[in-house]
Amino acid sequence: MTKEERVELADLLFPNLEHDRDYYEKLYPERNLKEGAMVTRYAPSPTGNVHLGNLLSAFADMVYARQSGGSFFLRIEDTDQKRMIEGGIENITGVLHDFDILPNEGYSFGGDYAPYIQSERTEIYQTYVKDLIVQGYAYPCFMTEEEIEAIREEQEINKTKIGIYGVYAVDRDLSLEEVKEKLANHEEYVIRLKSPGDGNKEIEVIDCIKGKMKFPEHNVDTVLLKKDGTPTYHLAHAIDDHLMHTTHVIRGDEWVSSLPLHIQLFELLGFQPVQYVHIAPITIKDQETGNIRKISKRKDPWFGVAYYDENGIPIEALHLYLATITNTNFEEWYLNNPDKTIFDFTFSFDKQAVGGTSFDEAKLTNLCKTYFSRKSGEEVYEETLSWALKHDSEYAELLLGNKEAMIQFLSIEKDGPRPRKDISKYSEVKEEFSYAIDSLFEKEHYAKNESEKEYDVDLIFDYVEHYLNLDVDNETWFNTVKEFALKNGYAASPKDYKNDPDSYKGHVGDVCEALRVMITGRLKSPDLFSIMKILGKDKVLKRIEFYQNR
């Protein structure tokens, strides 16, 4: 076709478009950002619920945009209406809110590049496709589904590349008259790319994580607009990333194989290229086989995001975990910088693992413990209360009724360079601190008594009644326990006992163990003297009685 014929064809196919390309280029001008600012986007399709892999890429979008003074936006890619799930869009925005991965603009957040949902941008896509037709880079294709299927079968038998290209692209060179005739016959059509690529030539792409990659040029006449005039993802994302001035496309690496097409589309549409950042998927070491495998929704509950809230994993701790996946040097930095937050760290693409990162529950737990250890007793109380209000209303009541004491218990061993590291989830506070609330202690404690031993109640009663002074410092207290132990036939230190086991019933540690079990129901607890101070002597005595009568 001549240029004039292509213009005529374009007008014939798109008679009602209100604007031209220039209009949209002006409507969505360059962003006014400082040099080096990154514009990133989370561009999910509402075809399934958000999972940990999605959160990881949205998290990366957020931190890179934020640290560079750029913008992170949310774009809903709902081009595949057939695969949309009910509530899919609400799930996306809800999860971003719940997990505090908040875009600074985008669908439901607003911004200058709206609409941020592809189903409301059809005219824009058509406008650019119309222009591609004029330039000879796109054409209407009237092939039926049966014809295409027959070609695919033939290609499968011949083991050649699947798709409409070369000899298979029968409508590529239809004359204007032929197209008009088919249109007059109401034949359905899609608009295909007229790919100028040569499959024998190579292109080179530099990915910010994966480095230099080589691919054969794209040479398939991929569908750009479907029969109903709506775009395919490939076309829509290219136009959107151009008009929304994305600088870095951060996404899952299942899109790597589409890069030759995407790069070709950018070129043919006359767009500035973007930088690509393809993130490898999270994998898992299979419990049964020991092999690294893909994550599975069925086998790996942590892959769904509901898991974190249900189990009481703090959002900020999950952020820490996502940060360790995003940059391999993050964890060490975080552990060495107790007073810093994620946003003090400088993330960089070259510290991102090229291969898949394996989900590491132990690491997540450890980060959670570090997170809790850095929070004050009051913060842990407030956060646990919010969690309990949602998931354990009975416990929430107890927390509300015992606020002051609870904060005191949660504040034990918080000062100093090595704060207590025990809790890893909100859901563990109830059990770990069951001794902090009388009714819980009474209900749960002896059923769960961790020790099998029978302890000498008279001995401990005697100690508490006659020797326990709660108004001294920790060292003085421990000295009196030692004295008491010695007086009652226990060595003052484990070492003394070890040197002469026949002369003693045990050592001071055994006395403390008995005291601890009677008071807390546990073999391990935060500093025992601090616990007793908060309880007061009367309660301590009552607990010993309780132990005796259990």
Q: Of 274 and 518, which CB lies nearer to ligand GLU in the complex structure?
A: 274
DSSP helix/strand/coil, 106: strand
Q: Of 272 and 287, which CB lies nearer to ligand GLU in the complex structure?
A: 272
Q: Which of 146, 164, 145 is nearest to 155 (CA)?
A: 164
Q: Of 44 and 260, which CB lies nearer to ligand GLU in the complex structure?
A: 44
Tokens 């109401």 identify what position?
Answer: 186
Q: How far is the CB of 225 from ligand GLU (least distance, A)?
A: 17
Q: How far is the CB of 54 from ligand GLU (least distance, A)?
A: 8
Amino acid sitting at position 475: E
Using CB under 6 A, list all residues that contact ligand GLU: 43-45, 77, 233, 237, 249, 251, 255
Q: The dihedral of CA 30, 33, 38, 44: what is its sign?
A: negative
Q: How far is the CB of 250 from ligand GLU (least distance, A)?
A: 7
Quick check: 265 and 238 in contact, CB under 8 A? yes
CA neighbours closer than 13 Å in the CB half-sphere of residue 473 = 1
* CA-to-CA separations, 107 to 72, 91, 100, 119, in angstroms, rounded: 11, 13, 16, 12
Q: Of 126 and 232, which CB lies nearer to ligand GLU in the complex structure?
A: 232
Amino acid sitting at position 20: D
Q: Of 125 and 165, which CB lies nearer to ligand GLU in the complex structure?
A: 125
Q: How far is the CB of 76 from ligand GLU (least distance, A)?
A: 9
Q: At what angle do helices 474-487 and 528-535 cross, to 10 degrees?
A: 100
d(CA 194, CA 327): 40
d(CA 24, CA 19): 8
Q: Of 142 and 255, which CB lies nearer to ligand GLU in the complex structure?
A: 255
3-state secondary structure 211-223: EEEEEECCCCCCE
Structure tokens at 298: 């069925």
Residue 143 CB: number of other CB atoms within 10 A? 20
Structure tokens at 103: 């875009």
Q: How far is the CB of 80 from ligand GLU (least distance, A)?
A: 9
Q: Please, what is the end-to-end C-alpha distance for the chain in angstroms?
A: 95
Q: How far is the CB of 164 from ligand GLU (least distance, A)?
A: 23
Q: How far is the CB of 45 from ligand GLU (least distance, A)?
A: 4
Q: How far is the CB of 246 from ligand GLU (least distance, A)?
A: 9
Q: Of 222 and 525, which CB lies nearer to ligand GLU in the complex structure?
A: 222
Q: How far is the CB of 91 from ligand GLU (least distance, A)?
A: 13
d(CA 460, CA 476): 18
- Residues near 315 by Cβ (< 8 Å), separated by ≥ 6? 98, 99, 100, 308
DSSP helix/strand/coil, 425: coil
Give the total residue count for the chain: 550
Quick check: 92 and 45 in contact, CB under 8 A? no
Q: How far is the CB of 237 from ligand GLU (least distance, A)?
A: 5
Q: Of 255 and 271, which CB lies nearer to ligand GLU in the complex structure?
A: 255
202 forms bridges with which residues in the sheet? 216
Q: Of 6 and 251, which CB lies nearer to ligand GLU in the complex structure?
A: 251
Q: Of 77 and 171, which CB lies nearer to ligand GLU in the complex structure?
A: 77
